[in-house]
Structure 1
Amino acid sequence: MTSTTAVRDALERAHRRSWGRLVGAIFRRFGDLHGAEDAVAAAFESAATAWTAGLPDEPEAWLRVTARNHLVSALRRSAHESPTGDDAVLDRASERDDERTDAISDDELDPRVGLLLVCAHPAIDARLHAPLMMQVVLGIDAARIAPMFLTSPATLGQRLARGKAKIRDAGIRFAHPSADQRAGRVGAALAAIYAAYGVGDGAEGEVRDRAHDLRTEAIRLAHEVAASFPANAEAHGLLALLCYSEGRRGGRDVDRFVPLDQHDTTRWSAAWRARGDEALDRASALIATGVDRPGRYQLEAAISAVHSARADTGATDWGAIRELYTVLIATAPSAGAVVAAAGAALHDGDTGAARSLLDALPADVVRDYQPYWVCRAAVLRSERADDGSRVVAEREAAARQRAIGLTTDPAVRAYLLQQQQPLRADAVSRR
């Protein structure tokens, strides 16, 4: 007999590592995404009991066969219960148990990569691409995904259900996208992977182990997409970006927020940086030879590479980072890129340029954007150091208070509150 704890741990590992592949394999065979998810979930429920008699040597294979059997049984019940009889369903349910060869010529796609592309199909609302992929491929539940997209779990759940129904009704199956669709669909897949890594990157405390697994799976997916589309510079760029980010995690403090420029670089991982360098070199080679064009992820990876180089040089080349941000803003403009560029200008001693960048952003865009207010407070602090104006000090305090009010991370909030204290002391001394 296997202990309940051992079974639970085995199921958790299998869910993290195999969910997407299992759903992809069942969907590829039967073409029903919702049915595939239900079948895989039923297989996990069966395993919770069956595995107490002994863990299988190959858990994923056990789950795949069980899920397939569940779905075949469901299809047979559906066919028998249909008033008119459904011969197509009966034929599908009667298929041989061994893996069939689909008519599609792209079966070599990893099941999870195939699912990513299915979820990024142009027939599906583009706003659903990322959340759909996060749920279907990585098994993240709607409750965790919903806050990222500023909606409720119930509302997102309904939207995801409609997206899956669209996949079924439109007959969307595994296939490499056509040349004119490739950039958009692969781009949507990369965006979902990046979002999934972000979920794991921000999770700490009691869910730290699960967050680590989520980041690992996101990086693995990025690697698989890059391998499936070797001429896509953005795929290699995203892989590089995630590797650099993972490599600097050791410089963080679990108990308090530490800004990147204050990390202890001896705690950074040289191995992860090497993986990032390799992926970025591949992306750069594609750009240099004219195979592809530079995009957001490659440029962000290049910026991240400059930050990571501080482990060797002992200093950050803010001039190089500013140049890269200029290209990034021209290539993929966003409020985040502009704010980050302003931060780089401030680190480079150019307070005027930092202010100009922030002033150019529309008020309605930055009203509730926390990084903007953090950067705005830093710019005002720099200006206060130059003229000591009480008005500037009051504006700095107001900007930082706005940033504090928009901050949800307790460690970051504590850091900002600590920065606010010297301002209060200075205000008292001026009275």
Structure 2
Amino acid sequence: MLQVVLGLEAAQIASAFLMSPAAMSQRLVRAKTKIRQAGIPFHIPEREQMPERLEAVLDAIYAAFSEGWQDPAGTDPARRELAEEAIYLCRIVTDLLPSEPEAFGLLALMLYAEARRAARRNPAGEFVPLRDQNTALWDTRMIDHAEAALLHASRSGRIGRYQLEAAIQSAHVERHRTGVTNWPAILTLYNALFAITGSPVAALNRALALAEVAIGPETGPQAALHTLDDLAADPRLLDYQPYWAARADLLARTGHPSEATQAFERAIALEHDPAVRSFLDRRRAAVSLVATTD
């Protein structure tokens, strides 16, 4: 779907699924060969066939949105249109399957994210992390639409991955109204998300939420760093930039500036966005200065 219908390249698809481009290329070749040899035709499924195909369709839509999300300022027409197209496609799915909560959960998730697009860069074009974003720049109308979609999904009583991810974004949006991020709620939601998915990305984000909540004898950052130590053996995170950026931040916060500097250097090497690279480099320089003075 991602390659044939939406035109993504193997490397772009691989990034969305935490795979190497070579492995994804082989997977795509095998899929095309299977379709060709089995003579499987392209056709519009009957309504009763749609629910069994829903998970794969939603995953493809979200992967397409994620690719478009990598253009924060919306200056790349192809990527901007890809994000818009993903939201449009998800709306079609909700129209076709109004009783499927995960379709509404994904719609809410993408709307929450898209609502923050204007705040992801400052006037100088510099990267602004979520915790530092000016919430006045968030699109309130789009957030309202996201909240309505998530509420609709929650009424089904069938919880799924996309509803939980959207609920996490809803908890972040609380800062737009109160000025305070509800970290305990976010941690609870990440616990639930990891329980149903086992995803290393969910585990990583759970650690970041844990860093903001003091539990037991350890401080939040200490507990979070120990969690990341447990994730270090997962090969899917070896070349995952957010893992190294998170590790660098936690090492800096727990008084390990030299190790933090090395982790920042790894994160910078893995990042392709110039604005994010510049942000990480500024953080690295600040931590490196502490290591030098120590």
TM-score normalised by structure 1 residue count: 0.60
Which of 125, 133, 155 does residue 263 from structure 1 map onto?
133
Q: Is the 8 A contact 2:2 2:13 kept in 1?
A: no
Provide the residue aligned with 1:418 in structure 2: 282
Name the CA distance, whole Å, in 2 between partners of 1:233 and 1:206.
Answer: 29
Label 1:247 to 1:394 Cα distance change in 2 as closer, same or farther (>3 A). same
Q: Is the 8 A contact 1:318 1:348 kept in 2?
A: yes
Which of 241, 257, 261 does residue 397 from structure 1 map onto?
261
Name the CA distance, whole Å, in 1 between partners of 2:41 and 2:175.
Answer: 51
**Residue 238 in 1 paired to residue 102 in 2?**
no
| Matched residue type, 1:414 | S
Provide the residue aligned with 1:311 in structure 2: 176
Residues 90-115 of structure 1 deviation map (CA, whole Å, 9 limit, x = unaligned): xxxxxxxxxxxxxxxxxxxxxxxxxx
Provide the residue aligned with 2:241 in structure 1: 370
| Matched residue type, 2:253 | S
Report the Cα offset of residue 156 of structure 1. 7.5
Name the CA distance, whole Å, in 2 between partners of 1:271 and 1:166.
Answer: 48
| SS of alignment partner, residue 309 of structure 1 | helix
Number of aligned residue pairs: give it. Answer: 282
Residues 386-408 of structure 1 deviation map (CA, whole Å, 9 limit, x = unaligned): xxxxxx22222222222222222
Name the CA distance, whole Å, in 2 between partners of 1:210 and 1:299.
Answer: 29
The percentage of counterpart residues that share the same residue type is 35
1:187-206 pair list within 5 angstroms: 187-203=55-71
Name the CA distance, whole Å, in 2 between partners of 1:414 and 1:353.
Answer: 28
Provide the residue aligned with 2:145 in structure 1: 275
Name the CA distance, whole Å, in 2 between partners of 1:205 and 1:147.
Answer: 23
Report the Cα offset of residue 294 of structure 1. 1.0
Report the Cα offset of residue 146 of structure 1. 5.3
Report the Cα offset of residue 212 of structure 1. 2.0
Q: Is the 8 A contact 1:204 1:211 kept in 2?
A: no
Report the Cα offset of residue 359 of structure 1. 2.4
Name the CA distance, whole Å, in 2 between partners of 1:223 and 1:188.
Answer: 16
| Matched residue type, 1:378 | D
Provide the residue aligned with 1:409 in structure 2: 273
Report the Cα offset of residue 362 of structure 1. 4.7
| Matched residue type, 1:223 | R
Provide the residue aligned with 1:334 in structure 2: 199
Q: Is the 8 A contact 1:299 1:324 kept in 2?
A: yes
| SS of alignment partner, residue 286 of structure 1 | coil
Provide the residue aligned with 1:64 in structure 2: none
Q: Is the 8 A contact 2:221 2:250 kept in 1?
A: yes
| SS of alignment partner, residue 159 of structure 2 | coil
Name the CA distance, whole Å, in 2 between partners of 1:160 and 1:409.
Answer: 31
Which of 216, 222, 225 does residue 352 from structure 1 map onto?
222
Provide the residue aligned with 2:121 in structure 1: 253
| Matched residue type, 1:194 | Y
Which of 63, 68, 83 does residue 215 from structure 1 map onto?
83
Report the Cα offset of residue 286 of structure 1. 0.7
| SS of alignment partner, residue 99 of structure 2 | coil
Label 1:141 to 1:376 Cα distance change in 2 as closer, same or farther (>3 A). closer
Residues 334-362 of structure 1 deviation map (CA, whole Å, 9 limit, x = unaligned): 11111111111113351233123212225
Q: Is the 8 A contact 2:11 2:21 kept in 1?
A: no
Label 1:205 to 1:258 Cα distance change in 2 as closer, same or farther (>3 A). closer
Residues 312-351 of structure 1 deviation map (CA, whole Å, 9 limit, x = unaligned): 1111111110111111111112111111111111133512
Label 1:163 to 1:312 Cα distance change in 2 as closer, same or farther (>3 A). farther
Q: Is the 8 A contact 1:343 1:375 kept in 2?
A: yes
Unaligned runs of 5+ in 2: 215-219
Q: RMSD over aligned Cα, in angstroms?
A: 2.6
Provide the residue aligned with 2:217 in structure 1: none
Residues 250-270 of structure 1 deviation map (CA, whole Å, 9 limit, x = unaligned): 111161111001000100001
| Matched residue type, 1:150 | S
Of 153-162 and 188-197, deviating more is 153-162
Greater Cα radius of gyration, structure 1 or 2: 1
Label 1:251 to 1:229 Cα distance change in 2 as closer, same or farther (>3 A). same
Name the CA distance, whole Å, in 2 between partners of 1:346 and 1:241.
Answer: 23
Q: Is the 8 A contact 2:111 2:145 kept in 1?
A: yes
Provide the residue aligned with 1:68 in structure 2: none
Label 1:247 to 1:204 Cα distance change in 2 as closer, same or farther (>3 A). closer
**Residue 302 in 1 paired to residue 173 in 2?**
no
| SS of alignment partner, residue 211 of structure 2 | helix
Q: Is the 8 A contact 2:73 2:118 kept in 1?
A: no
Report the Cα offset of residue 428 of structure 1. 2.8
Report the Cα offset of residue 415 of structure 1. 0.8
Provide the residue aligned with 1:137 in structure 2: 5
| Matched residue type, 1:227 | D
Name the CA distance, whole Å, in 1 between partners of 2:60 and 2:293.
Answer: 50
Name the CA distance, whole Å, in 1 between partners of 2:55 and 2:25.
Answer: 27
Name the CA distance, whole Å, in 2 between partners of 1:158 and 1:222.
Answer: 27
**Residue 170 in 1 paired to residue 40 in 2?**
yes
Report the Cα offset of residue 233 of structure 1. 1.2
Unaligned runs of 5+ in 1: 1-132, 288-292, 385-391
Report the Cα offset of residue 367 of structure 1. 2.2
